[in-house]
Structure 1
Amino acid sequence: MSRFLLRCAAAGAFLIAACAQADVLVGEFRGSNPTDVGPLLRFAPGQNGNVAPLSALTTNLGGQVLVTPVYATYEPSERVIYVADFYGKAIRVYPANASGNVAPLRTITTEYLGQPRQLAVDVAHNEILVPVMGCCIGTFARNASGNVGFPSRLISWGGIAGNVTRLNSPISVALLPNDEIAVIDRAVISGVSHTVVLIFARTATGNTAPLRTIEGPNTRLGEFPGGIAYIPQTNEIAVAVQQSSAWQIVTLPASASGDVSPTRVIAGSNTTLESVTAVAYEPSNDLLYVATGAYSSNNPKVIAFPRTANGNLAPVRTLAGSNTGISQPYGLVAVPNDALFANGFQ
């Protein structure tokens, strides 16, 4: 019997139900020194509080080092996770059930990658789209490996005279219906910062204007972005933003344009939100997971809210404390438990 099935069988009725759901993987930011590498921590759906993770994924083998796994994306058709190694300047692909000190299935590198952030995987077109070089959105073949050279497409930086892309310092890319992508970014106009969601055609390249933008005071997107998640069941986007000195989760229709009011806002002292770096949607429990407290905080943790939460609500799940290993949580991804049955029974 697989290790995972044994774990579920021993856990009792409550966790047996949860085993059909999703583990949560947390990317730890530990700095730029390759000797101080950050793990990707795995927690089961039934875990809560100050608990040890099920496992930690690292790579330090034969010259390959996973330095800073700050962002990760699950791809179900391959049953793999794509890990954006920020200071390692690489994208590393692992089996969804990988744990311990293991080598990636493949590694994507290029001088044009820079420090990668949250990427999107487009299986239908065999592509990955990722913020590159701190300025732009690059597209690469999904099955790429090794040094891949220049991106097949590159939406260029908006800071060049005459450029209309409006890209400044993109944080995250999300794949939307209708062959579109959403990019969360920080716009600065006349010295004033605000969060903007830029919607591009997936095939956009070069100096191409977004199809539409979501921004303005009615959106409540605030001054500084922390992350974005697409919710396919309701065709919505959930965006983590800083409004004045407080953080909040703003949900908007993915089809929105301009200065529109949000559908829901999670905000207030009960939420315990601070210094948010990522938000992820977990469909089996209909939850929004949030990485919070990664910097300028003494309270690093991962928390969860119902997708339908609205207002000043306490999280329904909190992972925090010395046993968790969570110290600077920067990336989140939910991985369905059934992906862990890939090796079958023994």
Structure 2
Amino acid sequence: MRIQHLFGIALILSSISGAAHAELMVGGSMPTLPGGHPISQFAANAQGAAAPIRQIVGAATQLDGPSNISYEPSEGLLYVSDYWGQAIRVFPAFASGNIAPLRVLNPAILGQPRGNVPIAALDELIVIAGNCCIYTYPLHASGSSVNRIRSISWGGGSSGVTQLNNPDSLIWIPQTDELAVVDYDFGNFAAKIVFHSRLSDGNAMPTRVLKSAHTANASGVAHDPLQHKLYVLTFTTEDNLAFNAQVRVFADSASGSDAPLYSIEGPATGLAYTFQQYPTGIGLDLRLQRLMVSIGANGDPTTNRVVSFDLAASGNATPVQVLTGTSLSSGTVGAPFAVPIDTIFANGFDN
């Protein structure tokens, strides 16, 4: 058994057992508006346009486009990919209000970061950088002159073999020590899930690729390491006016044209949307056993939405929670994630 497997599972189990339940959090982006963008947390029983129970917000945060955020449980930190701010900003996970980041990682080569994965046991922070590549930095690095530990390069050009084009939605699979991203082919734009060894460096070939009609229009991926499942967010349309999002659930060993184990889709799911919206992310809450999908506004923030399902849901399932509107974002809501509310209460916050 790989040492990374042991580290990863130990961290997952400790983060689940350390709190009875968690609450959904989201960031987002609004680059044309002043004042930056908050990170907001909502109660597990909140519905509709409910107000957040806390926010990290204000000029001191330096947040501009925090669309992808990871919670690191052993450190109690949030690692925020600030897309428009071109930085990784690190905050105490249970903080509130107008606070400055603990540290900022912003080398010029980082560009506009997307998904990130902090791995405390390995002292690494892995991030999608420059809309093209996967970089690994020391976990506790800060400043603008930090060297990368490794980099998986863009797959374009005559000699590129990484199959990275415009990657998004980064995950780490500890059992196989692989990274995976959503991406699409050059030329025909066929969507796929691309897997690389965490230790890959440079112009490295993927360990596997999951690509077929089942991954068409993939826009996000999440991983349950305990059930060994991949949750892939996709969508379909017949007229480019009305759209239906789906969650296709695969074994986390899937590759090639493997079919999903099952899907969540249908009119009861609340995953239909119009051309004025688009899917912005997918996340898991392993404490509450929920699957969370965000549908972002494209111009009208009242149409932002986060739809949550029981993690065991399948087929035409009814959501357990639907949050809507400008409470999620005054711009476009980002990818959802979860932070344990129990720990917040223990640190002096109240519901």
Q: Secondary structure at the match of 1:340?
A: helix
- 5+ residue gaps, structure 2: 1-18, 238-242
Please identify runs of 4+ aligned residues in structure 1 that moved more than 4 A: 322-327
Q: Which residue pairs with 1:235 in the alignment?
A: 228
Aligned partners of 2:294 and 2:306 also within 8 Å: yes
Is residue 2:220 matched to residue 1:221? no
Kindly provide the amino acid, as one letter, of the partner of residue 51 in structure 1: A
How far apart are the structure 2 equivalents of 1:284 and 1:258?
31
How far apart are the structure 2 equivalents of 1:323 and 1:71?
17
Aligned partners of 1:131 and 1:171 also within 8 Å: yes
Q: Secondary structure at the match of 2:215?
A: coil
Q: Which residue pairs with 1:83 in the alignment?
A: 80
How far apart are the structure 2 equivalents of 1:325 and 1:203?
36
Aligned partners of 1:277 and 1:292 also within 8 Å: yes
The structural deviation recorded for 1:338 is 3.3
Q: Secondary structure at the match of 2:268?
A: helix
Aligned partners of 1:287 and 1:305 also within 8 Å: yes
The structural deviation recorded for 1:221 is 1.1
Residue number among 281, 284, 289 corresponding to 1:281 in the alignment: 284
The structural deviation recorded for 1:95 is 0.7
Aligned partners of 2:70 and 2:78 also within 8 Å: yes
How far apart are the structure 2 equivalents of 1:163 and 1:322?
42
Pairwise mapping of residues 144-183 of structure 1 onto structure 2 (< 5 A)?
144-176=141-173, 177-183=175-181
Aligned partners of 1:30 and 1:36 also within 8 Å: no
Q: Which residue pairs with 2:306 in the alignment?
A: 302
The structural deviation recorded for 1:192 is 2.5
Q: Higher mean Cα deviation, 257-266 or 244-253?
A: 244-253
Pairwise mapping of residues 82-121 of structure 1 onto structure 2 (< 5 A)?
82-121=79-118
The structural deviation recorded for 1:122 is 1.6
Q: Which residue pairs with 1:22 in the alignment?
A: 22
Residue number among 205, 208, 220 corresponding to 1:209 in the alignment: 205
Kindly provide the amino acid, as one letter, of the partner of residue 338 in structure 1: D
The structural deviation recorded for 1:268 is 2.3
Q: Deviations over 1:120-164 (max 9, x none)?
A: 112221101111011100000111111243422110100121111
Q: Deviations over 1:53-112 (max 9, x none)?
A: 112212413xx6211111100000101111110000000111111111110111111111
How far apart are the structure 1 equivalents of 2:341 and 2:327?
23
User: Normalising to structure 2: TM-score of the pair?
Assistant: 0.85
The structural deviation recorded for 1:115 is 0.6
Between the two proteins, the alignment pairs up a number of residues equal to 319
Q: Which residue pairs with 1:47 in the alignment?
A: 46
Q: Secondary structure at the match of 2:131?
A: coil
Aligned partners of 1:127 and 1:140 also within 8 Å: yes
How far apart are the structure 1 equivalents of 2:32 and 2:148?
25
Is residue 2:310 matched to residue 1:316? no
Is residue 2:343 matched to residue 1:343? no
The structural deviation recorded for 1:178 is 2.1
How far apart are the structure 1 equivalents of 2:45 and 2:163?
42
Q: Secondary structure at the match of 2:319?
A: coil
Q: Which residue pairs with 1:57 in the alignment?
A: 56
How far apart are the structure 1 equivalents of 2:203 and 2:339?
36
The structural deviation recorded for 1:286 is 1.1
- 5+ residue gaps, structure 1: 1-18
Q: Deviations over 1:256-305 (max 9, x none)?
A: 11101101211223222242111110012211011113327762111101
Aligned partners of 1:229 and 1:237 also within 8 Å: yes
The structural deviation recorded for 1:326 is 5.9
Q: Secondary structure at the match of 2:294?
A: strand
How far apart are the structure 1 equivalents of 2:126 and 2:248?
24
Kindly provide the amino acid, as one letter, of the partner of residue 43 in structure 1: F
Q: Deviations over 1:13-33 (max 9, x none)?
A: xxxxxx931121111211255
Distance 1:99 1:52, change over 3 A: same
Q: Which residue pairs with 1:193 in the alignment?
A: 189
Q: Secondary structure at the match of 2:30?
A: coil
Aligned partners of 1:279 and 1:291 also within 8 Å: yes
- What CA RMSD, in Å, does the superposition of the two structures yield over aligned residues? 2.0
Q: Which residue pairs with 2:13 in the alignment?
A: none
Aligned partners of 1:58 and 1:99 also within 8 Å: yes
Q: Deviations over 1:26-61 (max 9, x none)?
A: 11211255x241111111212222211112212413
Distance 1:322 1:58, change over 3 A: closer
